[in-house]
Amino acid sequence: MEIFSVPAKSPSDGHVETPQDDMPRGMVLLFATGGGLSVANVYYAQPLLDEFARDFSIGYSAVGGVVTATQIGCAMALLLLVPLGDRVERRRLMAIQLASLVAALAIVSLARSTSVLLTGMLAVGLLGTSMTQGLIAYAARAAAPHERGRVVGAAQSGVFIGLLLARVFAGAVSDLAGWRGVYACSAVMMLALAVPLWRRLPRLAVAPNVMSYPRLIASMLEILRQNHVLQIRGVLALLMFATVNIFWSALVLPLSKPPFAFSHTVIGAFGLAGVAGALAASRAGKWADRGFGERTTVAALMVLLLAWWPLSQLGLSLWPLVVGIVLLDLGGQALHVTNQSLIFLAHPETHSRLLSLYMLFYAVGSGLGAMSTTAAYAHAGWRGVCILGASVSLLSLVFWAITRRDMPDVVLKTGNLNSEA
């Protein structure tokens, strides 16, 4: 039974109409839950590397290949699978990907050789990422124009919370049932999720698209070249995710040494402080819907910059660290949600490709942040990390100020959508 549907394509105007009624809260929650559970699969491996090393007799210097295989799968998904949402009916595509993800999780949980483990991890990264980003694009396409930012913000908050809780879940379940139990349990959860997703998510009308798959993938370069909003928001995302990863990649270095000497479990628990920031940032989508996208952007960038002051006080107390984490995740997620809301304003037939390209900026920024922060810590300690993070945050603010004049059309469109709602 469909509770929310999109009118069919109008033959007179040649485009697919978008819904005008508010999306039910239950469906928004379903998108958020689906995204959170999907993305968690990509991050379960990180706290389990020591168990992989022991069970498969992999050296600690090489066991990172498990995470690398997952990340390769993520990149492949952004380039090859997520764009399919612009060509294939999203509900059917989601069902196929979800069934494949369950199979991949089962393969990992039963793996007896390193080659099978790495193959399964690559598949988990591929399908977990395609499910996650596919659901965000699905939510954006299913939402009415006047509420798209709110819906995307809620879905993205679910994804972020799933990412944060993944490590906690993996650690707790592995203590009870081993690392295989983590992936077996996730397979069961994803299988259970399939029922409400299939029964409740809307069947969206698909615009005629005779473009072949190779042309669909090749068209992403043309979209990137022509879409100035994507270019600007992509660079902001690159700088923002570099900033966030500068912090998270370096945090274990000072906290694992005296005077703290915390375990990896305790260090990972600091990530839970970011949940408060993620929940608060979900409102950024509502502000973007009301035409305040640029104001939300500059506020988020200033919060990102401000966060580095309490983070730099780590040597004095842990409380400033918690405050800094909340501010960092608040600013980062608010900007992330605003970026997505603005790139989804137009051309619904390209939403999946737009999201793929945007997330590639994210991947590059994350990698650059992780690589640069270890060098900064080696040369100047935690203070060097904070100076690096604050410098990149300031660079983001300067870039926004320089490119702001290129964004008025987007703000105007947002206001028009509100007035027509």
Size (the chain), residues: 421
- The number of beta carbons lying within 10 Å of the beta carbon of residue 411 is 18
What residues contact residue 415 under an 8 Å CB cut-off, 6+ apart?
A: 291
pLDDT (tens, 9 = 90+) of the chain, 421 residues, equals: 333 333 334 333 333 444 556 888 899 999 999 999 999 999 888 778 778 888 888 876 677 778 778 888 988 999 999 998 888 888 889 999 999 999 999 999 999 999 999 999 999 999 999 999 999 989 988 888 888 888 888 898 889 889 888 877 887 888 888 899 999 999 999 999 999 999 898 887 766 656 788 998 999 999 999 899 999 999 999 999 899 888 987 887 888 788 888 876 677 678 788 777 777 777 777 777 777 788 999 999 999 999 999 999 987 888 999 999 999 989 998 999 899 888 888 777 788 899 999 999 988 888 788 778 878 888 999 999 999 999 999 999 999 999 987 764 544 444 444 433 3
Residue 252 burial (CB < 10 Å; 0-12/13-18/19+)?
middle
- Residue 70 CA, distance from chain mean position: 15
Please tell me the distance from the alpha carbon of residue 203 to that of residue 320, in angstroms, as a whole number: 47
Please tell me the distance from the alpha carbon of residue 367 to that of residue 383, in angstroms, as a whole number: 21
Which pTM value belongs to this model? Answer: 0.79
The full set of domains in the chain, from first to last, is: 25-208 (1.20.1250.20), 219-420 (1.20.1250.20)
Residue whose C-alpha is closest to residue 147's, from 357, 4, 302, 355: 4
Does the bond joining 258 to the residue before it have cis omega, within 30 degrees of 0? no
